[in-house]
A and B are shown apart, each in its own frame.
Chain A
Amino acid sequence: MNDLSVQFEGVSKKYAHFSLENIHLELPTGSIMGFIGANGAGKSTTIRILMGLVHQDAGSVRVLGHSMPADQAAAKLDIGFVSEDMRLYGAATLAWHMDFLRPIYPRWDQTYAMELARRFDLKPQQKIKGLSHGQRVKAALLLALARRPRLLVLDEPTTGLDPVARMEVLGELMAVLADEDRTILFSSHNTLDVEQISDQITFIDRGRIIDSDDKEAFLDRWRRLRLVLPPDGVVPRLPGVVEVGGSGRLPVLTTNRFEPAMVSACNDLGATVQAVDTMTLEEIFVANVHSRRERLTA
């Protein structure tokens, strides 16, 4: 029994102007991972390797116990994949798409498909070309969900959705997780979505994984400390500081290894801790990317 649904070990892929380097990634079964990166960071390439659509130059990829890309045909029966560039047939209706997929996937659930159509406010008899962007995303998601896949892989599922559609999609993703044998990986540059529903969070930048952890640990270890120094005081050296901002006697430190004991340590060094601020996932992501890029150029 393998309790990892996705496992990347030392995966690399080189292109002329972009390379994915030494990617390690582990996604436990029954959880949901938010995969965050700026545009062009390598999210889609990583997902295409996971799906066997792009072959890695080095490293091993296992998905639901299958080795990729070798066993991709068997793996894909159990994976539901939705990406932005996936095209449905414009001239055909949603019902036509359902009838097309039903005989291919043994676990296709027609009752659930119709229920989703109702909840997403989609009319099965409507042609795809008459749908708005949000309706198309929901139609593609419906077709993936009704197959009842063990692993759902979603490339930017909430991009371009209005707030109501976003909440519907996030709610449906959480409903999938009610079954603890099912797993979701979704990429996004909307950190708010990721912060709310993800168990695991992975940051990618310029083709490298820069941080990966469970969400609670992430939010717990990042803090901003606002200090007041005595005249001629020096900024105390604290573990995990990635950024020092603020001004002379009022420095602001950002650390990724916060512990409550740091506050008394600062006081012992003569610096008064004025405030310890928690950070949103967005602030953590930006601080993480900046510090990593600065270290690379230093």
Chain B
Amino acid sequence: MHSDIVISQSDGRPMYLQIMEQVKQRVAVGDWAPGDEIPSIRQLAVALRVSVITIKRAYLELEREGVILTQQGKGSIVAPNQRLSPQIYHEELSERLDEVARLGDLLGLSSEEIARRTKEASDRLNEARLTKEIV
């Protein structure tokens, strides 16, 4: 269940962040359901060929964010909290919006211009959805 986590050496971010992000995605799309048992720290370390301390760090942060629960001596599970998925998407949205603001600033766009472009993107999505319904 864990073999598809990919660690990239050329990704500038630390390995523990890459692992956290992929676990969160798995939970968000429902591949890992609430209450599911997930690999132990050592199992995942061996499978990914990444040090135990790195996986431990990722699991600690995931636990702090409420994505997983680790029980002493019992391993870890996906947190049974049902409100979890939207929460993860909200966090991701905030991150992407920060990125949008940064790129906009880089291009010298005003906040009004950035807001207008964001609304255009949202309109395009709605339009695409409408066309699909008509067909």
Could you list which residues of chain A lie within 8 angstroms of chain B, going by C-beta atoms? 30-32, 167, 170-171, 174-175, 177-178, 180, 192, 196-200, 214-216, 219, 278
Interface contact tally, CB-CB below 8 A = 47
Beyond A216-B54, A278-B12, is A177–B45 a contact (Cβ under 8 Å)? yes
Cα A31 to Cα B42 with chains together (Å) = 11
Once A192-B9, A219-B14 are accepted as A-B contacts, the answer to whether A214 and B53 lie under 8 Å apart by CB is: yes
Assembled-state Cα–Cα distance A178/B40 (Å): 10
A79 to B11, CA, bound (A): 37
| A215–chain B nearest beta-carbon distance, Å | 6
Taking a contact as CB atoms under 8 Å apart, the answer to whether B51 and A198 are in contact is: yes
CB < 8 Å: which of B42, B50, B51 contacts A180?
Answer: B42
Q: Which 10 A-B pairs have the closest CB atoms?
A: A199-B53, A178-B46, A199-B51, A174-B46, A174-B49, A216-B57, A197-B51, A171-B49, A198-B51, A170-B49
Is residue B97 within 8 Å, beta carbon to beta carbon, of the partner chain?
no
Q: Return the contact of B52 from the options A31, A170, A175 (Cβ within 8 A).
A: A31
Closest chain B CB from A115 CB (angstroms): 15
A198 to B50, CA, bound (A): 8
B51 touches A215 (CB 8 A): yes
Contacts of A30 in B (CB 8 A): 52
Task: Identify which of A167, A174, A216, A278 contacts B53 (C-beta below 8 A).
Answer: A216
Residues from 30 to 45 in B contacting A, C-beta threshold 8 Å? 42-43, 45
Apart from A199-B52, A278-B14, what 11 extra A-B contacts exist at CB < 8 Å?
Answer: A31-B52, A32-B51, A170-B49, A174-B49, A177-B45, A178-B46, A180-B42, A196-B7, A198-B51, A216-B53, A278-B12
- With a cutoff of 8 Å between Cβ atoms, the chain B residues found around residue A180 in the complex are 42
Neighbouring A residues of B45 by C-beta, 8 Å: 174, 177
- Give min CB distance, A217 to chain B, whole Å: 9
Minimum Cβ distance to chain A for residue B101 (Å): 16
Cβ contacts under 8 Å, B13 to chain A:
278
Say whether B54 contacts A175, CB under 8 Å. Answer: no
How far, in Å, is A219 (CB) from chain B's closest CB?
Answer: 6
* A170-B49, A219-B14 known; A177+B54 contact, CB < 8 A: no
Q: Chain B contacts of A32 at CB under 8 A?
A: 51-52
B50 near A177: Cβ-Cβ < 8 Å: no
B48 to chain A, nearest CB (A): 8
User: Which residues of chain A have C-beta atoms less than 8 A from B54's C-beta?
Assistant: 215-216
Offer 14 A-B interface pairs, CB within 8 angstroms, sorted by A: A30-B52, A170-B49, A174-B49, A177-B45, A177-B46, A178-B43, A196-B49, A196-B50, A197-B49, A199-B52, A200-B53, A215-B54, A216-B54, A219-B14
Smallest CB separation, B22 vs chain A (Å): 17
Interface centre among A174, A175, A198, A214 (most CB of B within 10 A): A174
